[in-house]
Amino acid sequence: MAAKEIIVIGGGASGLMAAVTAARRGARVTILEHQPACGKKILATGNGRCNLTNLQKEPDSYRSHAPKTVEKVLRRFSVEDTLDFFSDLGLYIRNKNGWIYPYSQQARTVLQLLLGEVSRLGVKLKTEAAIQKIQKVRGKWKLTTDTETYQADAVILAAGSKASNLPGADGSGYALAESLGHRIYPVLPALVPLVGEGDYFRQWEGIRMDARISLHVNGNFVKQESGELQLTGYGVSGIPIFQLSRYAVEGISQKKRAELRIDFFPDGSERKLEHLLQTGKSRFPRKTWEEILSGIFPEKFSRIVARRSKKAREEEQPRRIAQNIKHWKVSIRGWQDYTYAQVCMGGVDFGQVDADTLESRLHAGFYFAGEILDVDGACGGYNLQWAWSSGAVAAMACTDRKEERKPYDTNFTTAASN
């Protein structure tokens, strides 16, 4: 029996995993990447350190309209399978409280190993290959780029999203999926800095502070995170904000009010902070409240807090200042654009995708992998784990099939811009 011909659209994390998996199972594989090089987004993950995966998983580590399907895919190619896969490639890892990185702490290590395996397996890699047309004729897929036409028994769409400041992250895969008749849930940034309402943000720009942050949408508590908060000229950023941003963006897009309530003194109570301020004033009565605060907090932040609290009577200042610091509120009016985002929410509706194989229910031999699907993960390696899992599952499925089931679309043609 002739080897199966498979085309993978996209040379990112999920596309490279799909290509390696399919080639290892005897398929002849071609990757079509519309950029000059593959895996650029891998190089940017984890601030260039590549947070491969995570040993821990909470109920909200992955978000989707079809959570059971997501779980099924993650079970079929698990975290353990991922670790085995990269160990087999020669990668040595380091474990940082469950967050898994290459021991080199360089994302380039991961990309080089993947590309090395692609080369070893004889996978054809075509860069700067923008798809202009896709056809299904008598059970075969034909894909036409600017310069060539390719034919395959199966196609895996792993084109990614438009979240990234890297060239080529344009979300063109969504248009390709739509051109084939697939429904797309609204695509919005999911791990992204948030833009606040107010005129003081320029005054605290550049400050980093540990904080406890809770998100409220239409006055209702949604989720709480803790960690290092980055105060910016437009609002707030940092990992805790990324973890909350998905829910804030979703709420605002539905015309709801989103508000952050920030505790800038998470290590102690309001009473303790008030006592610290009272003690400072009694020991140094000539010092201003801004000067006393500067012994505890960054100078720029102390200045803002002192100004915000100055209307209170002198004897009430410690209590008012402590209240402001422990219960700071930021109304969110929006978010930074896709170039600031790490991933997107929304994507191809799982209702039109087979949960066991990630094959389209509309077109036999057409599969999906990666962020193009309606799933987004929290910070911490979850999105890369989804890329590894979905890429592997799609590749295993399209190489497992001994006989193609009767296609829904014996002849199908569509133009596609990539």
**CB of 80 closer than 8 Å to CB of 33:** no
Question: Residue 168 has what pLDDT?
Answer: 59
Determine what percent of the chain is predicted with pLDDT higher than 90. Answer: 84
Judgement on whether residues 250 and 395 belong to the same structural domain of the protein: no
The residue with tokens 């910070």 is 379
Residue 271's alpha-carbon distances to 298, 313, 316, 319, 323, in angstroms, are 20, 18, 13, 8, 9
Residues 147, 275, single domain; the answer is no
- CATH for 165: 3.50.50.60
Does 198 lie in the same domain as 132? no
Percent of the chain with pLDDT over 70: 94
Give the sign of the dihedral formed by CA 256, CA 257, CA 263, CA 264.
positive
pLDDT digits (tens, 9 = 90+) for 208-253: 999 999 999 999 999 999 999 999 999 999 999 999 999 999 999 9
* pLDDT the model gives residue 57: 94
Q: Average pLDDT in the 384-394 region?
A: 98
Asked if pLDDT for residue 405 goes beyond 80, the answer is no
For residue 154, give its domain range: 5-189+344-415
CA distance linking residue 161 with residue 172, whole number of Å: 8
Q: CA-to-CA distance for 276 and 130, rounded, in angstroms?
A: 63
Residue 314 is predicted with a pLDDT of 83
Query: 305, 298, 243: which is closest to 62 by C-alpha?
Result: 243
Residue of 2, 10, 5 lying closest to 35 (CA atoms):
10
- Summarised one tens digit per residue, pLDDT across range 90-104 is 999 999 999 999 999
Residue-wise pLDDT tens digits, 157-209:
999 888 876 665 677 899 999 999 999 999 999 999 999 999 899 999 999 99
Order across the sheet with 53-54: list the strands: 53-54, 99-102, 93-96
* C-alpha distances in Å from residue 49, one per residue of 45, 90, 164, 293, 341: 7, 17, 16, 36, 17
Asked if 231 contacts 208 with a C-beta cutoff of 8 angstroms, the reply is yes
How confident is the model over 368-386, as a mean pLDDT?
Answer: 97
**Distance between start and end Cα atoms, the chain:** 33
Same domain, 303 and 368: no
Count of domains for the chain: 2
Answer whether residue 408 shows pLDDT above 60: no
Dump pLDDT digits (tens) for 110-139.
999 999 999 999 999 999 998 988 988 888
CA dihedral 387, 389, 392, 395 (to 10 degrees): -80
Regarding whether 289 and 365 lie in a shared domain, the answer is no
Who contacts 83 (Cβ-Cβ below 8 Å, separation ≥6)?
53, 93, 100
Burial of 407 by CB count in 10 Å (0-12 exposed, 13-18 middle, 19+ buried)? middle
Q: What is the C-alpha separation between 333 and 311, in angstroms, rounded?
A: 27
| Top-confidence residue, 279 or 3 | 279
Residues 6+ apart with CB under 8 A from 54: 61, 79, 98, 99, 100, 380, 381, 382, 385
pLDDT at 69: 97
The residue among 286, 315, 335 that closes a domain is 335
Kindly state the greatest CA–CA separation across the chain. 90
pLDDT at 135: 86
d(CA 39, CA 8): 14
Residues 222 and 96 in one domain: no
Q: Tell me, yes or no, whether 93 and 219 share the same domain.
A: no
pLDDT top residue among 9 and 1: 9
Determine the pLDDT at residue 169.
66
How far is residue 319's CA from residue 416's CA, in Å, rounded to a whole number? 62
Torsion angle defined by CA atoms of residues 114, 117, 118 and 122, in that order, rounded to the nearest 10 degrees:
180
Structural domain ending residue among the three candidates 274, 304, 335: 335
DSSP letter assigned to residue 359: B
Q: Which residue type does 107 have?
A: A
* pLDDT at residue number 404: 44
Tokens of 56: 């821990």
Three-state SS at 226: strand
Cβ–Cβ under 8 Å, residues 41 and 418? no
311 and 392: one domain?
Answer: no
On whether both 268 and 400 belong to a single domain, the answer is no
**What pLDDT does residue 416 have?**
45
User: Per-residue DSSP letters for 88-102?
Assistant: HTT--EEEETTEEEE
Residues 75 and 52 in one domain: yes
* Main-chain dihedrals φ then ψ at residue 5, nearest 5 degrees: -95, 125
The last residue of one of the domains, among 282, 315, 335, is: 335
pLDDT > 60? residue 413 = no
β-partners of residue 221 are 216
Q: What is the pLDDT of residue 42?
A: 93
Q: Over the chain, what is the mean pLDDT?
A: 92
pLDDT by residue (tens digit) across 19-64? 999 999 999 999 999 999 999 899 988 889 999 999 999 999 999 9
As given in the structure block, the two tokens for residue 140 are: 């075969």
Q: What is the pLDDT of residue 166?
A: 67
- Please give the Cα distance from 173 to 159 (Å, whole number): 5
The reply to whether 125 and 246 lie within a common domain is no
Average of pLDDT values for 146-153? Answer: 93
10 and 63 in a single domain? The answer is yes
